[in-house]
Structure 1
Amino acid sequence: MKKKLASLLIALLMVGGILTGCGNSGGKTSSSNKPVEITFWHSMSGKNGQALQKMVNDFNSSHKNIKVTSQYQGKYDEAINKLKSAQRAKNGPDVIQTYDIGTRFMIDSGWVKPMQDFIDEEKYDTSSLESNIAGYYTVDNKLYSMPFNSSTPILYYNKDAFKAAGLDPDNPPKTFSELESAAAKLTKKDSSGKVTQYGYAMAIYGWFFEQFITKQGQAYVNNDNGRKAAPTATEFEKNGSGLKVLSEWNKLVKSGNAGNFGRKTDDTANAFIAGKTAMYVDSTAGLSAALSGVGQKFEIGTAALPSFDGIKDGGVSIGGASLWALDSKDTEKEKATWEFIKYMVSPDEQAYWATKTGYFPVTKKAYNSQLMKDNLKSKPQFQTAINQLHSSPSTAKGALMSVFPEARQTVEANIEQMLQNKQTPEQTLKKSADSINSAIKEYNQNNQK
């Protein structure tokens, strides 16, 4: 009897142990009952931020084993500076949205786990990714970050103003000489000679300077635009592309037919909406806001970024941002991060994102979505951006360098001086190149491997 009782007690203890182990062992098994928590830093505010948050909420609702906490970190410059501080304190996020010009810095930092690692491990199919977008973030045949919100610059124009000026509203300017001619016809003045409508306008934005260099098929910096190796010097002052951009820009403003509304792209966009300029250059990402702002006041037309006369069109490079996975050394968090990133670039999510923001879908399969088809039908102006992206050669990738944020600010400050008649295009070119080369040299010296 004692033996039977002992056996029964042992059996009960074993069952109890098994049940306890299933419920809460205090080890790895218990953590599997709780969602893996990851932090996502981003730079989307306003309507774009609302759309992004809905995507995050939908992910959390459909992935009970993962919880993503999204945190707005300010504009791209602010976010990358916060990341630098956080990483030094070993308190960074699991995934961060970083702008295109932060690519080389992110690669050099050693903080990231390349997308290629996840792709190779899972044998994830990347064939649907837009090649010209993925190409920007691919270095040494390795995709470092996942494209997310991508855009290119296009020409916006007021079709009603074109008709009033005797211009063909279905034949917008394709070259700078055509742009100059149209701008002159579109410019309006009151009886006192004050301009009431400029023919053209362009914000003082370094991205536009970069894009017009790419448009000429030229490099911004050496070492294959910083893609074969970290750049050691600028190229735009040597290959003639920089001076051509600055001279045309200066010429247009000095003619009195192009308005200068400062550095903020929103200010130039608002001038167009208010009828103060008949044409302007802006990101495709601004299309939804422009259409909404203009409403029924006039019809908006869109066209490819103007090219330079007599120069083969080099296409445009993408702007925007991508998603980077931080190397946390935590397998569970990294797997959760990968699941989140895959979800954010899935066809349905990219179709939703594109229709709400104006950014490109980064996956071609998004165009099969009824949502995307309906959006293109209601906003045919967006087709311009798609055609321009697809017609741009694979070489139109844009430059990579760690000091790009500083370089962009330098160029903008010098262009501002030029347009205020404080320096010539030649002086603007030299000062910009000298300053950027100094920053490149200092960075390379301080970051020798």
Structure 2
Amino acid sequence: MKKGLIFIISAILLIGTLAGCSGGESVQAEKTKDGKVIVDFWSFWGSETRRPIIEKIIEDFNNSQDEVFVKHTYLPWGDIWTKNLASVAAGNPADVIINDINSVAQRAENAQSEDLSKYIDESFKDQFYPHLWETVMYGDKPYAVPFNTDTRLLFYNKDAFKEAGLDPEKPPATWAELEEYAAKLDIKDGDRYERVGFYPLWGSIGAASWMTSADGGKGFIQDGELYINTPKKQEALRWLLGWKERLGEKTVQSFEAEFGSEQSNPFIAGKVAMWVDIGTFYTQIRDYGEDMNFGVAPIPAYEKGSGNWSDGGGFVAEIPKGAKHPEEAMKFIKYLTGQEAQKYWAMKNYDNVANKEAAEAVVNDLKGDDKYVYEASVKNLDQTQLFPVPVKYPDYQSRINPHIDSVLLGKTKPEKGLAEAEKDVEKLKRK
């Protein structure tokens, strides 16, 4: 009898838990006691740093008007998007969700998000960086609003530059200079490296970024055309292989085995003299670098005048398809992506926000190294590209990456690897 009762109670608790995770909790009450419409907002911001910030923004919004009450539902990274799709399919989604910026068109194509054009006018987009607004468009209509983004910079150790006889105020501007500087910054004890000047696949950057840089800023897919197996991208892969040959596989692996974050980050620890990362990497230098003397610069160009290209990502605020309170949800999104909330988010998170005026206001309010790095990251957005997933080539990256990995492992020649990658992506094309 007791076992049966325990089973029933357990089943009830499990059903309740699943309902809460799938968004069922959000429809238990449509309005607060004082008549405000409840908007359920899903995010993955649950850390000790970010959760208080987003909840302060929500609190400020709730106190700013008397029509809408936003309730924050935290879901872990990864789980949030799986559960979003399940809740849309079940007809019981959240009202607002934070989602990936590069896949907005995919969700619009699959009827998983709401068309927002009915809630905004043409001038609304002027608040945001143009390259970010482009990512939310599908069929000439917006299906999300940009929230934040990122960009990559070259961080370099100024003291190491001085030791190597390099001008600390003149970071490398081209790939050729990058190689030259790296060789001077290397420190060896016999055959063993004590410090590596630079390695292009360490930090927050990958082979695809260098391939894009070599190819005049062209991604793998541009205006519906494939630019995978191009001479410049082949050249970039050969260039990357050259770095590994110079250092040796053993050196690369031994350094990578010791990589960590904070004090264990190889740049902060002084084991690597130049390092590519997103702007927020500065917070690790600030907090754990013990007054490290560093500089930041754009990623070196393939050659002079070819562009200091960087790639970026980010997130958007979106209304899932079938949300029960889209008008009220849009009121919150407008606040969330407005200047006041965006400035607060940026100041507290040191994050690149999508709202232009907010980003510029943050630059004006910061001082010292905080201002130096943030201003550099904002300026770098002019040469930062996003590569939204084309609806005709869904999941194309998973077709390309194994071929690039094979080339970098020395198993395939660049020409063959990229030719096979292009064939595999072509097979994905939707008519």
Q: Shorter-chain TM-score: what band?
A: 0.7 to 0.9
Aligned to 1:286: 281
2:291 equivalent to 1:302: no
Give 1 or 2 for the bigger CA radius of gyration: 1
Q: How far does residue 400 in structure 1 lie from its aligned partner after superposition?
A: 2.8
Q: Which whole-Å deviations, capped at 9, do the CAs of 1:114-136 have from their partners, x for residues lacking one?
A: 3333213xx66432322232233
Aligned to 2:322: 328
Q: How far does residue 172 in structure 1 lie from its aligned partner after superposition?
A: 0.9
Aligned to 1:35: 36
Aligned to 2:25: none
Aligned to 2:117: 116
- Listed as ranges, the matches of 1:125-274 within 5 Å are 125-191=124-190, 193-203=191-201, 208-215=206-213, 216-222=215-221, 224-226=222-224, 234-237=226-229, 239-256=230-247, 259=252, 270-274=265-269
- How many angstroms apart in 1 are the aligned matches of 2:356 and 2:323? 32
Answer yes or no: is the 8 Å Cα contact 2:343–2:359 preserved in 1. yes
Change (3 A) 1:141 1:402: closer
Answer yes or no: is the 8 Å Cα contact 1:151–1:320 preserved in 2. yes
Q: Please give the secondary structure, in 2, of the residue aligned with 1:255.
A: helix
May I ask how many residue pairs the two structures share in their alignment? 396
Aligned to 1:343: 335
- How many angstroms apart in 2 are the aligned matches of 1:272 and 1:263? 14
Gaps of 5+ in 2: 1-29
Aligned to 2:87: 86
- How many angstroms apart in 2 are the aligned matches of 1:35 and 1:149? 28
Q: How far does residue 108 in structure 1 lie from its aligned partner after superposition?
A: 1.1
- How many angstroms apart in 2 are the aligned matches of 1:116 and 1:32? 31
Q: How far does residue 213 in structure 1 lie from its aligned partner after superposition?
A: 4.5
Q: Please give the secondary structure, in 2, of the residue aligned with 1:200.
A: coil
Determine which of 406, 418, 425 is the counterpart of 1:429.
418
Change (3 A) 1:390 1:221: closer
Determine which of 47, 50, 56 is the counterpart of 1:48.
50
CA RMSD of aligned residues (A): 3.5
Aligned to 1:69: 71
Q: Which moved more, 1:35-44 or 1:379-388?
A: 35-44
- List, as ranges, runs of 4+ consecutive aligned residues in structure 1 with deviation greater than 6 Å: 29-32, 204-207, 260-266
Matched residue type, 1:288: T
- How many angstroms apart in 2 are the aligned matches of 1:360 and 1:30? 34
2:357 equivalent to 1:362: no
- How many angstroms apart in 1 are the aligned matches of 2:149 and 2:136? 11
Q: Please give the secondary structure, in 2, of the residue aligned with 1:322.
A: strand
Aligned to 1:106: 107
- How many angstroms apart in 1 are the aligned matches of 2:388 and 2:64? 38
Matched residue type, 1:398: F
Give the TM-score, by structure 1 length.
0.76
Query: What fraction of aligned residue pairs are identical, expressed as a percent?
Result: 23
